Amino acid sequence: MDELPIGRRVAYWRNRRKMSQQVFADRLGKSKSWVDKVERGVRRLDKFSVVYEIADVLQVDVQLLLGKEPERKPESVNCVDAVEVAEIRAALERYDAFSAFFSPAGEPPPVPEMHKAVNHAWLTFQHARYGVLARSLPKLLRDAQAADTAYAATDQATDVAKLLGQVYQISSSVLRKLGELELAWLAADRSIAVAQRAGDPLLAGTATYRVGSALLALGRARPALEINVNVANRLAPGTGDSSPEQLSVYGMLLLQGAMAAARIGDSATMRDLLDGAADAGAAVGEDQNHYWSCFGPTNVLLHRAAASVEIGEGGLAVNVHEQSIPASSFTTLMPERRAHHFLDMARGFAQVGDVDRAGEMLLEGDRLAAAEIRCRPIAHEVLSDVLRRTKGTPSAPIAELAEHMGVGV
């Protein structure tokens, strides 16, 4: 595609976004005839500003329109390919605040629209629609960064900084799910700096949680444990009343710390942190979604099972899954959280040698939120293990899932 004229690249991305020439023209404020001439090479695109507007409408990085497209992996249901990852990386590498020293920033997006976009992105993540989210993240990152720069000297600066911090956190979360771990760490680190500037201790707490998650995924369990516990101690409830928001963020940090402790084999610390999170969950009363945490008593139980798997005690995880988690509360959790639990339990059942139940857990997760199973590297590893240990021919549903995921039977 590098050799194609820019007009053909525009046509390629317009078709990939399933956008007609008329719709594309309307969004650009141009005529359909203008678009047609550009795509056929009759009209040249010699203004960088116009190329940038086209890139924004098509939700691709401008470098892709200029012929610098990376190799793409085959499409997968609701997953992302290298092109989408490259676009997110390019958006994270922008430095709008620095550029504003040399030229005035463009018209920023309205703050109410940014609020809606960020809320929608969180819900998209919690419904495990990772492909949809990945395609919208580059523009959301550019808009949030531009707004943060443009509103820096206004009374909306703090509000916009909070929005940018959340966009970085969303980016970190989805990139970690998809195995882009260094980018996940970069986005999480950015979110901490912005949260400090926004002056919101709880947002800083959730940013710390994302950093801890990225570090844990990168195999750096000990620093993940330390950062989660240190910040949790700073947010610990006092002797007076604590808000559900504070308890939720505090509990999230303890849960992430417990996972890190399990990774390094420190079962005593793991259980202490889980017990502390259980106390916070009991104080919250029921599972809530404050600061997009999904925190509460049920989520604590899910982490108790996950930590048991992480430390190699699959039997304990199975007991929690089968005897302790109330079905009525479990079904109220967001799809991502439930499908994640099924993936954890697939690992747990595999640890105790029940590969049939492990396969059932993968299928349950796939039915609930396909991307959580089909797009995550860890799920591919678990499915490969199930197939390897299955005696005889795997069941038709497992074979079909393996085919969808590209895992050899």
- pLDDT greater than 60 at residue 76: no
Query: Are the C-beta atoms of 62 and 87 separated by less than 8 Å?
Result: no
Q: What is the pLDDT of residues 142-173, one digit of tens each?
A: 999 999 999 988 999 999 999 999 999 999 99
- Is residue 349 in some structural domain? yes
Domain-ending residue, one of 9, 35, 69: 69
| 162/194 Cα distance (integer angstroms) | 7
Determine the residue type at 336: E
Q: Is residue 376 part of a domain?
A: yes
Q: What is the mean pLDDT of the chain?
A: 89
Provide CB contacts within 8 A for 337, sequence distance 6+.
Answer: 126, 294, 299, 302
Q: Residue 357: name the closest of 321, 392, 323 by CA.
A: 321
Mean pLDDT of 272-298: 96
Burial 27-51, CB ≥16 within 10 A → b, else e? ebebeeeebeebbeeeeebeeeeeb
Please report the pLDDT score of residue 341 as a whole number: 98
Residue 14 and residue 43 in contact, taking contact as beta carbons nearer than 8 Å: no
238: Cβ contacts below 8 Å, ≥ 6 apart: none
- Overall number of domains in the chain: 2
Give me the mean pLDDT over the 23-35 stretch. 91
CB under 8 Å, gap of 24 or more: what pairs does 242-248 form? 242/283, 244/284, 244/285, 244/288, 244/290, 245/202, 245/290, 245/291, 246/202, 247/280, 247/283, 247/284, 247/295, 248/280, 248/284, 248/288, 248/290, 248/291, 248/293, 248/295, 248/296
pTM for this predicted structure: 0.79
5 pLDDT tier (thresholds 50, 70, 90): confident
Distance CA 44, CA 296 (A): 57
Whether 394 is covered by a domain: the verdict is yes
Residue 128 lies in a domain: no
Q: What is the CA radius of gyration of the chain?
A: 23
For residue 17, tell me if it sits in a domain: yes
* b/e map 377-400, b = 16+ CB within 10 Å: eebbebbebbbeebeeebeeebee
Is residue 74 predicted with pLDDT exceeding 70? Answer: no
The 3 state secondary structure assigned to the chain is CCCCCHHHHHHHHHHHCCCCHHHHHHHHCCCHHHHHHHHHCCCCCCCHHHHHHHHHHHCCCHHHHCCCCCCCCCCCCCCCCHHHHHHHHHHHCCCHHHHCCCCCCCCCCCHHHHHHHHHHHHHHHHCCCHHHHHHHHHHHHHHHHHHHHHCCCCCCHHHHHHHHHHHHHHHHHHHHHCCCHHHHHHHHHHHHHHHHHHCCHHHHHHHHHHHHHHHHHCCCHHHHHHHHHHHHHHCCCCCCCCCHHHHHHHHHHHHHHHHHHHHCCCHHHHHHHHHHHHHHHHHHCCCCCHHHCCCCHHHHHHHHHHHHHHCCCHHHHHHHHHHHCCHHHHCCCCHHHHHHHHHHHHHHHHHCCCHHHHHHHHHHHHHHCHHHHHCCHHHHHHHHHHHHHCCCCCCHHHHHHHHHHCCCC
Quick check: is 138 in a domain? no
Say how many Å lie between the first and final Cα of the chain, rounded.
Answer: 34
Q: Is residue 206 part of a domain?
A: no
pLDDT band, residue 270 (cuts 50/70/90): very high
Of the residues 69, 88, 118, the one at which a domain ends: 69
Q: Is residue 235 part of a domain?
A: no
pLDDT digits (tens, 9 = 90+) for 309-362: 999 999 999 999 999 999 999 999 999 999 999 999 999 999 999 999 999 999
Measured in whole angstroms, how far is the alpha carbon of residue 24 from the centre of its chain?
29
Question: Mean pLDDT over residues 194-204, rounded?
Answer: 93
Structural domain of 23: 1-69
Q: Provide the CATH number for the domain around residue 65.
A: 1.10.260.40
Phi, psi (deg, nearest 5) at residue 72: -110, 140
Q: Which of 55-59, 211-215, 285-289 has the lowest mean pLDDT?
A: 55-59
Choose the final residue of a domain: 69, 93, 116: 69
